[in-house]
C-alpha cells in the first residue's frame, strides 16, 4: 500500500504540481513515512504525512466514485444548458459526509477526510480528473460503456468505475 501511495503521489506531483510549480500535498502513512516523504519531496511538491491509514484509504477508495457523480452534474449542465451547480454542490457535500462516516466506521479520523487526503483530493478530482471527465460524458448522454471505451482508447483509466461496483 505504501508503494501504491508513493506512485500515486509521484504521478500527481509530476502531472499537476511540477508542471504548474505549485506546492501540493498528499498523504503517506506509517511506517515508512519519513523515507517516502524525503524521497518524494521537491521544492515544488510537499508530502503530507499521516498515521491514519484507515482514513486515507477510505478517502482514496471513494473519491473517484464521487467525482464521477459530480462530473455527471457538469455533463447535465453542458448537455442541457441549464445549470446543475446546486446538484453538484449537494453531491460534493454528501460525498464528504459519506467519506467521513466510512473513515470513522473503519477506525479512521474525521480530520483526515476533512483535510488534503479527503476533501482536497476529492476537489481536484472533481474539477479535472479522469473520473470527472467520464461522469461529464455520461451526463451529456454518452452511454457509460461508450464513454469508458473512448477513454480507454485514449489510454485513460477511470478508477471510479470498478470502485463503484464495490460500493
Which position among 26, 29, 63, 91 bears the catalytic label?
63
Handedness of CA 14, 49, 127, 137 (dihedral sign): positive
**Half-sphere exposure for 159 (CA within 13 Å, toward CB):** 11
- Which one, of 137, 100, 140, lies nearest residue 156 by Cα? 137
27 by DSSP, 3-state: which?
Answer: strand
**Catalytic-residue membership of 88:** no
> CA–CA separation, 91 vs 132, rounded Å?
13
Catalytic residue IDs = 63
Amino acid at each position: 500500500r505504501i508503494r501504491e501511495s508513493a506512485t500515486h503521489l509521484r504521478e500527481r506531483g509530476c502531472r499537476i504540481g511540477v508542471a504548474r510549480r505549485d506546492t501540493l500535498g498528499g498523504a503517506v502513512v506509517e511506517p515508512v513515512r519519513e523515507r517516502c516523504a524525503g524521497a518524494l519531496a521537491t521544492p515544488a511538491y510537499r508530502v503530507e504525512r499521516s498515521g491514519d491509514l484507515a482514513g486515507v484509504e477510505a478517502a482514496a477508495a471513494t473519491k473517484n466514485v464521487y467525482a464521477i457523480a459530480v462530473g455527471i452534474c457538469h455533463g447535465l449542465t453542458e448537455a442541457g444548458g441549464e445549470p446543475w451547480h446546486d446538484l453538484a454542490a449537494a453531491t460534493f457535500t454528501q460525498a464528504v459526509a459519506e467519506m467521513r462516516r466510512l473513515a470513522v466506521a473503519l477506525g479512521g479520523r474525521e480530520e483526515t477526510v476533512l483535510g488534503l487526503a479527503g476533501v482536497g483530493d476529492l476537489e481536484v478530482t472533481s474539477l479535472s480528473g479522469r473520473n470527472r471527465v467520464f461522469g461529464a460524458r455520461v451526463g451529456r448522454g454518452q452511454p457509460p460503456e461508450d464513454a469508458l471505451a473512448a477513454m480507454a482508447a485514449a489510454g485513460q483509466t477511470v478508477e471510479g468505475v470498478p470502485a463503484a461496483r464495490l460500493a
